[in-house]
Structure 1
Amino acid sequence: MHVLHTLRRAGAVLLLAAAVLSAGPAHPAAADEPGWTARPAAGTAGSPPPSGARPYFYLAGAPGTVLEDRLALANTTDQERTITLRGADAYNAADGALAVRPATGAGPGASGGTGAPATGGAGSWISFGASTTVKVPPRTRAVVPFTLTVPPASPPGDHPAAVIATEGGHEVGVRVHLRVGGPTLAALTVEDVAVRGRGPATVIAYTLVNRGNVALVPELRIRAEALFGDVPDAPRGRTVPVELLPGQRVELTEPWPGAPALDRVGITLTVTAPGGARAVATASRWFVPGIPAGPAGAGVLGLGVTTAAALYLVRGRRPGPGPAPHAPPAAGPTTPAPHHELTGAAR
């Protein structure tokens, strides 16, 4: 009960943690797969799981402890199934989806960035002992115990992992949400903000990086300010549909089909997450219609920017009254007044 109480306090994170993982692109939920299923055990072997069964594993402990749980394998067919079990590290794919390290090969990326983390994560702490291969008779449910041994030098915080069941080329992943005891830090940054595309295809692109040691469910707010007018159709933000794991980076976009046709717009992104995490980043973009590609387009853009800037300055500056005609000369020395040249005036 202490483990469940500890993890319920991270409710915002756990709402998204129920994703079913796979080695690479995610498969449908185990309950939708024909033939057999894998899920956290509830009840006892041979009895059906009660309603409200756990969608994933909740584990918490101090460094050096050994945690225990059980996986339920249900064979709904009329033939025996031979299922192989293993633990795997979980990570964020570039678009934020949850994935796990494959059984063989290094996988993309490295620890602390986009791609599969390096070996030695929480997935390697999971052991099924002699039960790595399980034969499940027809119409039978088998419960398989496993342990997760937290190394003594493990850093505190969340360590994402999964239990992977494989049979005949088909894999089902069950999330393991592990928190190692100790100080936690919720921290993130928002980087590489840019406005891309034009017209209905315009998007605001940005990168989120989890700089802390706990999983985060970020919330995004967007503020747009135009040079010449309001931006009524700018996106306002939302809860980002991503569980951002510690040390991971994801590249996301927000659609902006109502972007202006002619204006300069400044974008401010503010990202927050439970635990006090907050980050702000800005970007700006000139929107000029009908810009061709290549050097000619750059010239047209420069002309449009110069013209728009000049119009903006003219709006705020009006010439003052000049000297009255035939005004008598002012008294004083006869030294000629200096000549002031106006840029662009005829000579």
Structure 2
Amino acid sequence: MGENNVVRRSARARAAAVFMTAALLFGVSVGFGSGTAMADPTPSPKPPPSTNGSWWVQPAPKPGAAAGARQYFILEGRPGTTLRDGLAVSNYTDHPITYYVYGADGYNAPRDGQFALRDHGYPMTGVGAWVRTAFPTITVPAHTSTVVPISIAIPPDASPGDHVGGVSGMDTAVESVQQQGNVQVGIKRVVAARLYVHVDGPAVGGLTVTDLKVAGSAPFPAYVSDSDGTVTATVTNSGNLLESPKAHLHATGIFGTLIDRTVQLPQILPGQSIDFSQVWKNMPPFEIGTLHLDVTDGTAAPPVTSTAAVSVTLIPWLSLLLVAVVVLAVLAVLVFWRRRNGPLPARPRREPSKVAAP
């Protein structure tokens, strides 16, 4: 999967890569509603290197354009309008394949923040619910391609801004079965072309950084061994446009700069949040300072920025406790040795008593 390009204020500037994922469906049979349709096929050449080698989906080429010229849908419209396009489904195998074609909502995966699509059967509440296909299933003969007409019905009350999802094709055949406990899980292959729909209206960019924390303890013993810490935060796209921000992590203390690092974050969908996490290598054992996290999308006009800060107090308590114990032990030994080996104290001399004369 290619690197995501930034999707900005103009729909014509939007770019992204084709997304492929595997769908896990319980059982080995799925009901698809109406019957299977057989569309007019065209000869399909050998699969391009970017495909999975057996079949692929992508936006249908525009009139006069070469096949494969579009790798994603980039559409724009007003609330209440319907946009029309087509999904090209290519079968490179030696046997016919039946696919289920459907729209899916996009989201940022909790684990790493990367773009993902909702599985088939998941209730679609976003752009995935706007997608309508000419027929729900399609059979594509071997070594051919066909185009499934699709429409995107933008609701009259659709919020302005960027809405991201995909148009997915899922092989109706179970590719393999895995046993997970007492449940058999059927693996079905899903390939999707990303769908970017920009709804006209006020465009607002926004980023918010919350829950900035530093975790880690001083090494033991201090200044002898190394210790690593972790910086975590939550980055939220609080606007209605896609954001592709960079995070600048920097901290200063009484001994100067502690950390200074810039990383590229995944593209964040409107209303979605990702977990930011960075390892702080060789965290100093003793330091007092402030750590800042600046998240900026410099591709926006004007740039969108959010900043959070947290105090950093690093004290090697365990090492200090060990030093205190050692010092007290040494003092105790010295006192004991002095008392045992020092000169005996002199006894006071008793004066003879005098008797008064009568």
- Decide: shared fold, TM above 0.5: yes
Secondary structure at the counterpart of residue 22 of structure 1 = strand
Aligned partners of 1:189 and 1:209 also within 8 Å? yes
Q: 1:285 to 1:300 in 2, by over 3 A?
A: farther
* 2:257 equivalent in structure 1: 231
Aligned partners of 1:235 and 1:256 also within 8 Å? no
Residue deviations 1:128-173, cap 9 Å, x none? 03x2111100110111110001011111001111111100211112
CA displacement at 1:177 relative to structure 2: 0.7
1:8 paired to 2:12: yes
CA displacement at 1:9 relative to structure 2: 4.1
Provide the rounded CA distance (Å) in 2 between the counterparts of 1:237 and 1:270: 9
Q: 1:98 to 1:291 in 2, by over 3 A?
A: farther
Segments of 4+ in structure 1 off by > 6 A?
A: none
Q: 1:23 to 1:104 in 2, by over 3 A?
A: farther
Provide the rounded CA distance (Å) in 2 between the counterparts of 1:231 and 1:261: 14
CA displacement at 1:289 relative to structure 2: 4.0
Provide the rounded CA distance (Å) in 1 between the counterparts of 2:97 and 2:318: 62
CA displacement at 1:56 relative to structure 2: 0.9
The two structures, once aligned, show a CA RMSD in angstroms of 2.9
Residue deviations 1:52-90, cap 9 Å, x none? x22211010001111111111111111001011000111
* 1:171 equivalent in structure 2: 190
Give unmatched runs, 5+ long, in structure 1.
107-118, 293-298, 304-347
Provide the rounded CA distance (Å) in 2 between the counterparts of 1:23 and 1:156: 31
CA displacement at 1:236 relative to structure 2: 2.4
CA displacement at 1:280 relative to structure 2: 1.0
CA displacement at 1:19 relative to structure 2: 5.0
Aligned partners of 2:79 and 2:199 also within 8 Å? yes
* 1:196 equivalent in structure 2: 215
Provide the rounded CA distance (Å) in 2 between the counterparts of 1:142 and 1:214: 33
Provide the rounded CA distance (Å) in 2 between the counterparts of 1:30 and 1:214: 32
Q: Between Structure 1 and Structure 2, which shows a larger proportion of strand residues?
A: 2
Provide the rounded CA distance (Å) in 1 between the counterparts of 2:18 and 2:321: 48
Provide the rounded CA distance (Å) in 1 between the counterparts of 2:152 and 2:201: 18
* 1:287 equivalent in structure 2: 314
Aligned counterpart for 2:156 among listed residues 145, 152, 158: 152
Provide the rounded CA distance (Å) in 1 between the counterparts of 2:9 and 2:50: 27
Q: 1:55 to 1:142 in 2, by over 3 A?
A: same
Provide the rounded CA distance (Å) in 2 between the counterparts of 1:69 and 1:182: 22
Provide the rounded CA distance (Å) in 1 between the counterparts of 2:11 and 2:295: 24
Give unmatched runs, 5+ long, in structure 2.
1-7, 25-47, 174-187, 218-225, 325-358
- Length, aligned pairs only: 266
TM-score (norm 1): 0.69
Identify the range of structure 1 (253-262 vs 68-77) with the bigger mean alpha-carbon deviation: 253-262
Amino acid at match of 2:50: A
1:100 paired to 2:117: yes
Provide the rounded CA distance (Å) in 2 between the counterparts of 1:62 and 1:43: 22
TM-score (norm 2): 0.67
Secondary structure at the counterpart of residue 60 of structure 1 = strand
Aligned partners of 1:161 and 1:175 also within 8 Å? yes
* 2:101 equivalent in structure 1: 85
Provide the rounded CA distance (Å) in 1 between the counterparts of 2:62 and 2:318: 66
Identity, in percent, stands at 31
